Structure 1
Amino acid sequence: MWDDVFPIDQVQEIRTKTTVYLGAGAIKKIYDIAKDLKEKGVDNVLVVTGRSSYKKTGAWDHVEKALKEQGMGYAVYDKVTPNPTADSVDEATKMGKDLGANAVIAIGGGSPIDAAKSVAILLEYKDKTARDLYELSFVPQRAVPLVAINLTHGTGTEVDRFAVVSIPEKEYKPAIAYDCIYPMYSIDDPELMTGLSLDQTKYVSIDALNHVIEACTTKTANPFSILLAKETVRLIAKYLPKAVENPQDLRARYFLLYASMIAGVSFDNGLLHFTHALEHPLSAIKPELAHGLGLAMIVPAVVEAIYPASKDILDEVLEPITKGAEGAEEVAKTLEKWIFSVGVTSKLEDEGFKGEDIPKLVKLVRETPSLDGLVSLAPVEGTDEVIKKIYQRSLKPIA
């Protein structure tokens, strides 16, 4: 196959709404990016990141040097946690305001990038808070320039207009989607990802897999989202086992990263439905639950629910994983078996959820801003009974 010999150290410029630099060594593009920001009038930059990976990966060494070379002021907000909260976004925004930041650089996976997108908006709307933003009390049209340096191969947030932040006191985990938060530039460098833990490697890749299972079956799916979905599944099926076996396999990391990126473009076009809408309440209730793990636990039941309405597309897109399976239950079981085969074997009961929690979960799907909109895009009607059954079927292995 062509991907067996493709030169992964040839840094490619890939244009979506965002200009993405993809390839081993792409982090060095930050010097060109910093120069461009300076020429565009950026004086001070807020860096939004997690607690340690930005340093451990070596990304910060290049970013700091690039900012100093351009004479830019900067401050680092390094308190973003998985499933970032509105309070964290407000804290970072205050740091940016105090600095006079007129651009944001995110370094991390989905959580730091999503938090940074939120900060980029709030630096333009100085009278608003993260809760205003995520309870949809206003529609932003502007954000300061954003650069995303991606450290995981799963979310696709470095190429899309989405962001997710939790409101803890309400157990809400809403999503926003605005054109103003497409990153101006993104860096996808697989050399920054060889240190991902085994669990992170699995969870983030399963996140990308979920993106395309949904994006190719929504009511708004289009030929482009379906085309990208097919290639995403092929690459993840081929390369995730390789990365699990050898975390230092740079070719595997490269193509998982590329798969994640095109999955982000796929759902930026086709959008999402059940799996993400039903996962968000899980990790809102249990913020320690990895988003990708939550998705892995419920996606077989989602596929089972939507298969009658999306049989032809799912058979074609999932063929590298479910080849030979027939019928909704068998396809769902085969998908679940594949997820188990890469080492993700938890179901909802294993993570502390019980049958008596389901009414609350259904209620959160209905009440959390934005999630009902995702449910409405599913290829089958998202009634309370359908949602309830997906949760029930996800408590234990379908097989």
Structure 2
Amino acid sequence: MWENTIPMDKARELRGKTSVILGNGAIERTFDVLEEMRKEHDFSKIIVVTGKSAYKKTGAWDQVEKALKKHHTQYVLFDKISPNPTNDEVDEAVKLALDIGANGVIGIGGGSPIDAAKIVAIMTIYPQYSTSELFDSLFEPKKALPILAINTTHGTGSETNRFAVLSITNRNFKIGIGYEFIYPKYAIDDPKLMVSLSKEQSAYTSIDAVNHVVEACTSFLTNPLVFLMAKEVIRLVATYLPQALEDGKNLKARYCLTYAAIIAGMSFDNSTLHLTHALEHPMSAINAELPHGLGLAVLLPTVIRKTYGKKAEILSEVLAPIIPELKGVPNEAERASKGMKKWLVSLGVDCTLATLGIGEENIDQLVDLVYKTPGNPLLLYCSPIPVTKALIESIYRESL
């Protein structure tokens, strides 16, 4: 396939709503990307939004800081974004951005810092409001500061799409928003930045990408392009995630997983997500320490069991690299579910809701949050099967 012929050490530009610079060593193009950003926007006073340590551990910050200084760019660093970012963190970052009169945002990290960077880009223009007011739809933003995303994981695809997710701390809500004006202008995807990911991080992030396409290709709003992306994402993850888990420094595997995450992010940008994400968001809202990809992994086999009968032909073809024995007939839903569970276990992911500390006593609260969380009605509407309270309860119970 293409991965045996593409020179992965040469950065290539993937053009779309976001121009993505992909390749081993792509981070060395930061200076050039900043130059392009400054041609198109002012981008002279920057807030850098990132997590607590990965931006340094990966080596990304060395290149970014050097490029900023060469361009004589004024900047302030906010490095307090948590794995499940909150409105309080964003509000604190916005204060720093306002202090320097920021006219641009750089997000460094995986989906959490990049999502937070998108929201900072909005809120810096609307300082009269709080971030929680944005997520409560108390005002309608029309623009955001320009964003450069520097990605350090192969999971969310946030660097390529118009969505951002945030937890509202005082209400146990984890909410997604989407606006045309928060597509990053440029994104840098350098697989070399991902070699330090632990086995768990590697697995959880790629499982997130798998969920993106499984949901996107079965969504009520899906289209033929999404189906093609889904097939390629599953092929790449099935082939190269085991290789990355065996040797974290395998750059070919990291490159392929990075590309898979990019197009997985584009897939639900062209469709939408549904049940697995709608039910996982309340889980990580009430347990901020729960890795998003792990929460999705626990739910995915059950969601496949529930939806397979309606989307058997599509799912059997998309999931063929993981579950080759599927025939595409509705009565094999249990086989599909068990096949997905077996694959997850082979990756070292063998958890249930119970082992994550979520029990029968939490189900009523979770179901309530599924319905009350703003943004979730669209996800539920896009489910391939009718959504009822009984269905949601059964997915949680069968995942215990």
TM-score range, shorter chain: over 0.9
Distance 1:138 1:318 in 2: 41
Match of 2:199, as an amino acid? L
- Report the secondary structure of 1:174's partner residue: strand
SS of equivalent residue, structure 1 residue 48 = strand
Query: 1:38·1:70 contact (CA, 8 Å) conserved in 2?
Result: no
Q: CA deviation at 1:364?
A: 0.2
- The residue number in structure 1 matching 2:134 is 133
Corresponding residue of 1:366:
371
The separation in 2 between residues aligned to 1:24 and 1:271, in whole angstroms, is 30
User: For 1:241-256, what aligned pairs fall within 5 Å after superposition?
Assistant: 241-256=242-257
- 1:355 is matched with which residue? 360
Q: Aligned partners of 1:70 and 1:308: how far apart in 2?
A: 56
Deviation, 1:4, is 3.1
1:31-46 alignment, distance < 5 Å: 31-39=31-39, 40-46=41-47
Is 1:49 aligned to 2:54, yes or no?
no
Aligned position for 1:217: 218
Q: Does 1:191 align with 2:192?
A: yes
Q: Is the 8 A contact 1:104 1:144 kept in 2?
A: yes
C-alpha distance in 2, partners of 1:225/1:32?
32
Structure 1 residue identity aligned to 2:399: S
Partner of 1:101: 102
In the TM superposition, what is the alpha-carbon distance from 1:5 to its structure 2 partner? 4.0
1:148 is paired with a residue of what secondary structure?
strand
The Cα of 1:38 is off from its aligned counterpart by 2.8
Which amino acid is 2:96 matched to? M
Q: Which amino acid aligns with 1:22?
A: L
CA distance, structure 2, for counterparts of residue 355 and residue 56 of structure 1: 39
Instruction: Name which of structure 1's ranges 344-353 and 318-327 shifts more when overlaid on structure 2.
Output: 318-327
Distance (Å, rounded) in 1 between the aligned partners of 2:293 and 2:280: 9
TM-score by length of 1: 0.97
Check if 1:332 corresponds to 2:337. yes
Q: Please tell me the residue identity of whatever aligns with 1:169.
A: N
Structure 1 residue 62 and structure 2 residue 63: aligned? yes
Secondary structure class of the residue paired with 2:77: strand
In the TM superposition, residue 6 of structure 1 has moved relative to its aligned partner by: 2.8
Listed as ranges, the matches of 1:198-209 within 5 Å are: 198-209=199-210
Residue 11 of structure 1 deviates from its aligned partner by: 1.1
1:142-201 deviation per Cα after TM superposition (whole angstroms, max 9, x unaligned): 000000000000000000000001012111001001111000000000000000011100
More displaced, 37-46 or 115-124? 37-46
| Amino acid aligned to 2:176 | A
Identity percentage over the alignment?
51
1: CA distance, partners of 2:139 / 2:117? 18
1:392 aligns with 397
Q: How many residues align?
A: 395
CA distance in 2, matches of 1:313, 1:229: 10
**Structure 1: which 5+ runs fail to align?**
none
Assess if the C-alpha contact under 8 Å between 1:46 and 1:74 holds in 2: yes
Cα distance in 1 for partners of 2:273, 2:140 equals: 20
| Secondary structure of the structure 1 residue equivalent to 2:208 | helix
Q: Secondary structure at the match of 2:355?
A: helix
| 1:138 CA displacement | 2.2
The residue type equivalent to 1:12 in the other structure is R
Task: Single out whichever of 274-283 and 138-147 deviates more from structure 2.
Answer: 138-147
1:275–1:299 contact (8 Å) kept in structure 2: yes
Which moves more between the two structures, 383-392 or 317-326? 317-326
Question: Does the 8 A contact of 1:240 with 1:256 survive in 2?
Answer: yes
Distance 1:37 1:276 in 2: 33
Letter in 2 for 1:13: E
* Residue 384 (structure 2) pairs with residue 379 (structure 1): yes
Tell whether the 8 Å contact from 1:300 to 1:335 is kept in structure 2 after alignment: yes
Aligned CA RMSD, in angstroms, stands at 0.9
Give the structure-2-normalised TM-score.
0.97
In structure 1, the residue matched to 2:164 is 163
SS at the partner of 2:310? helix
Could you tell me which of 339, 343, 347 is aligned with 1:342?
347
**Paired position in structure 1 for 2:6:** 6
- Residue by residue, what CA displacement relative to the aligned partner does 1:93-132 show, whole Å, maximum 9, x if unpaired? 1100001100000000011000000000011112121101
Q: Is the 8 A contact 1:82 1:287 kept in 2?
A: yes
Output the CA distance in 1 between the equivalents of 2:128 and 2:32.
33
- Quote how far apart the aligned CAs of 1:371 are: 1.1
- Mapped partners of 2:353, 2:186: distance in 1: 37
Greater Cα offset, 372-381 or 181-190 = 372-381
